[in-house]
Amino acid sequence: MANLERLRLLEEFAKEEPNNPFNWYALALETETSQPDKALFYFRKVLKDFPEYLPVYFPSAHFFAENELIQEAKETFESGIELAKQLKESKALRELQNAYQNFLFEYDLD
């Protein structure tokens, strides 16, 4: 029940402040396991509408990989790494690069 309430609240925030990427990002995270189709929509929305929102890259790339959207996961990791370099966010860059290397190894990609 608490999850449904939180979901309704997040949907309300997104409606009230549609230009705040965090609202859509929070919806993506909230629906990741219970409603993967919705999460997919929300992750793609944040990546498309707010490409400068660095926090979305790591979880969305993992989500894509877990849902067998391998090429989309790869491109998301690569875009996130480039953005982290541009923003000089060294901690996020390290995390994304490490996760990307693990992803490449796990899916036997180059």
Give the separation between CA 35 and CA 30, rounded to whole angstroms. Answer: 9
Cβ atoms within 10 Å, residue 67: 16
Q: pTM of whole model > 0.85?
A: yes
Q: Which two tokens mark 97?
A: 């690069």
**Digit-coded pLDDT (tens) for 31-65:** 999 999 999 999 999 999 999 999 999 999 999 99
